Structure 1
Amino acid sequence: MDKPVLYIVIPCYNEQEVLPVTKPMFLNKLNHLIARRKVSEQSRILFVNDGSRDSTWNLIQEFANQEEKIEGISLSRNRGHQNALLAGLMEAKDLCDITISIDCDGQDDLNAMDEMVEAYHKGADIVYGVRSKRDTDTFFKRTTAEGFYKLMNKLGGEVVYNHADYRLVSAKVLEEFSNFNEVNLFLRGMFPLVGFNSTSVYYERHERLKGESHYPLKKMLALAFDGITSLSIKPIRIVTGIGIAFSIISFLLIVYALISLIHGTVVSGWTSSIIVTCLLGGIQLISLGVIGEYVGKTYLETKHRPRYIISNRTYKE
């Protein structure tokens, strides 16, 4: 197999503190892969500026001016991590043979790239970077994250356990993936849908090298909910099942009430009435919320708005 052209795609949002630290690391790893003749000399690093409000784009432009192996694109506004990553992958699709997507904070082990490229040479078109353990996470984050992956699989979403967005993808897969036109993106659950040969490599995740995480609990929960509702309709079926179950219970209570009325043993109870009313009201509101989430996603999909707009590039098209 010829040496493949590799593009390392790195989405960035307000990362002016960490980029000067991690950029040399990414560049050293790329040069290492080139020196070992695992990838082509035409391989590049592609930074994607996701509408940052700080000096992130200025830094990317400086990097590109100083080093021919670094390129960059800038989105017209902040579109979120998943859209920024997609923009980078689609930009690289026609320029390379393989891409490796990775966050810019230095937490993912760069040495796993060697194994990913090796797996590609052995025939894999998708190689998932999977965390071997989550010791650097807090107990709450570790528990909720692992619970999310288990829940996703039970709901029918084909998600690789403990895999985020550190992965190698071949251009052949990206070409087919470009036919996925949905606006609501959850890439870690969408790539398994494409098929092709896939495997996993395992690595330990480190602490963030500098700066602060841009994925607080609120964003993580939103991403998780987006993932569930984007990949599975089982929540709707669960709501339907709950509705059927309570309909049966209600019918039995009606029968019980009628029998009690006939025998003159009607028992009045304000507390029980309030409990039942509140319970049913809560279930109805939750059900409407779940249904509304799907209706909202359908509404967004029908608009066919672009998922991102590239406003700037550091290199000639």
Structure 2
Amino acid sequence: MSVLSVVLPAYNEELMIQKTCSVLRQILTEAEIEYELVLVDDGSRDRTWNEIEKAGKEDTHILGVHFSRNFGKEAAVFAGLAQASGDAVAVMDCDLQHPPQTLVEMYHLWKQGYEVIEGVKSTRGKESLIHKKCAGFFYGIMSKATKVNMQNASDFKLMDRKAVNSILSMPERNMFFRATSSWVGYKTTSVRFEVQEREAGESKWSAWSLVKYAFTNIVAFTTVPLQFVTVGGGICFLLSLALIIYSLIQYFTGHAVEGYTTIMMVLLLIGSAIMLSLGIIGYYIAKIYEEIKRRPRYIISQIIRGSQDVSEHARHDSV
């Protein structure tokens, strides 16, 4: 019988571990789906790992992965994919904002022959107008980079084993799972879902962390920001050309161009454009430096299968 592995990244989710495992166990058992729950503790500061160990003692289908420190959600997702042993692998949030019932629909679509089933948000839930606009801008860039419509995309998806293996075979360290799973291709379909309200705990994403997350993933997946540098340079050139023509016209018509104000405006415009361009280029160089070092995406300190410690026999991220 085919096994479905469900990867659940968790960071400070002690209040949700037991509930999430219980709900998934009930839904997948009633649907007669053989399952494996891969819970990845991303260096939580609360009792998340203790709750995972407790859940493992109650259910032998649970595989717990404990990071040595916080490495971020992307690392947790890829660790879960690497440890999962199922014929199909789903990724969803541990806070149940991704409705577990949708997993059954995804699984049946996979049985019909689809290899990547994307979860697409019907709405973005309760978000501010600014957050929605920024998210729209971000996914617009990612859609152009992947050649796939990623508006309202999410990490909630189910993939065939060969799609998972294709993702894990990619050597880069800075990888954006949400875009990479679309980029690999394969026979793809989608299901729509409503974002659920969080039952316990609180969101780990501040406005600043979302901005950093977005920019890091844009740089990791596309060179569009470097094209902004080229476009910005072209705009500055056109503005300077217009200013030169204006100054020459004023000179030959006997009118003096205001000196100090004009010079300061030009210097500030060019200086800020140069500094911004250097910042973008520098960020790409920093990411190149990180890739060259070839450090692992994450470090695992312990792995449990049910109540058994299986750290020595588990698959680890390659260096």
Q: How does 1:57-206 map to 2 (within 5 A)?
A: 57-92=49-84, 95-154=85-144, 158=148, 160-206=150-196
DSSP-derived class of the 1:164 partner: coil
**TM-score under structure 2 length normalisation:** 0.90
Per-residue deviation, 1:256: 4.0
**TM-score under structure 1 length normalisation:** 0.90
Q: How does 1:230-249 map to 2 (within 5 A)?
A: 230-249=220-239
Describe the shift of the 1:159–1:295 C-alpha distance in structure 2 as closer, same or farther (beyond 3 A): farther
**Match of 1:44?**
36
**Match of 1:279?**
269
User: Which residue type is aligned with residue 206 of structure 1?
Assistant: Q
Describe the shift of the 1:176–1:156 C-alpha distance in structure 2 as closer, same or farther (beyond 3 A): closer
CA contact (8 A) 2:251 2:257 kept: no
Query: Aligned pairs, how many?
Result: 307
Per-residue deviation, 1:254: 2.9
**Match of 2:241?**
251
User: Which residue type is aligned with residue 33 of structure 1?
Assistant: A
Per-residue deviation, 1:267: 2.1
Per-residue deviation, 1:98: 0.5
| Partner Cα distance (1:17, 1:28) in 2 | 18
Per-residue deviation, 1:283: 1.5
**Match of 2:316?**
none
Residue in structure 2 matching 1:214, options 194, 204, 208 = 204
| Partner Cα distance (1:62, 1:131) in 2 | 32
| Partner Cα distance (1:176, 1:154) in 2 | 21
> Which segment drifts farther, 199-208 or 227-236?
227-236
Unaligned ranges ≥5, structure 1: none
| Partner Cα distance (1:241, 1:110) in 2 | 45
Per-residue deviation, 1:263: 4.8
Per-residue deviation, 1:194: 1.1
| Partner Cα distance (2:118, 2:98) in 1 | 12
Does residue 1:53 correspond to 2:45, yes or no? yes
**Match of 1:12?**
10
| Partner Cα distance (1:272, 1:207) in 2 | 54
- RMSD of equivalent CA atoms: 1.9
Residue in structure 2 matching 1:290, options 251, 264, 280 = 280
CA contact (8 A) 1:159 1:189 kept: no
Per-residue deviation, 1:191: 1.2
| Partner Cα distance (1:193, 1:159) in 2 | 11
CA contact (8 A) 2:114 2:187 kept: yes
Cα displacement string for residues 190-235 of structure 1 (whole angstroms, at most 9, x for unaligned residues) = 1112111111100100111100111111121111112221221122
CA contact (8 A) 1:47 1:71 kept: yes
Describe the shift of the 1:159–1:314 C-alpha distance in structure 2 as closer, same or farther (beyond 3 A): farther
| Partner Cα distance (1:245, 1:156) in 2 | 27
CA contact (8 A) 2:146 2:182 kept: no
CA contact (8 A) 2:8 2:80 kept: yes
| Partner Cα distance (1:159, 1:183) in 2 | 24
Per-residue deviation, 1:123: 1.0
Per-residue deviation, 1:252: 4.1
| Partner Cα distance (1:133, 1:164) in 2 | 11
Per-residue deviation, 1:44: 1.1
| Partner Cα distance (1:75, 1:175) in 2 | 22
Per-residue deviation, 1:246: 1.6
CA contact (8 A) 2:247 2:257 kept: no
Per-residue deviation, 1:143: 3.1
CA contact (8 A) 1:157 1:232 kept: no
Unaligned ranges ≥5, structure 2: 314-319
CA contact (8 A) 1:61 1:72 kept: yes
Describe the shift of the 1:234–1:151 C-alpha distance in structure 2 as closer, same or farther (beyond 3 A): closer
Cα displacement string for residues 96-149 of structure 1 (whole angstroms, at most 9, x for unaligned residues) = 101111111111111111111111011111111111112333333333323322
CA contact (8 A) 1:156 1:234 kept: no
| Partner Cα distance (1:259, 1:249) in 2 | 15
CA contact (8 A) 1:47 1:73 kept: yes
| Partner Cα distance (2:284, 2:150) in 1 | 24
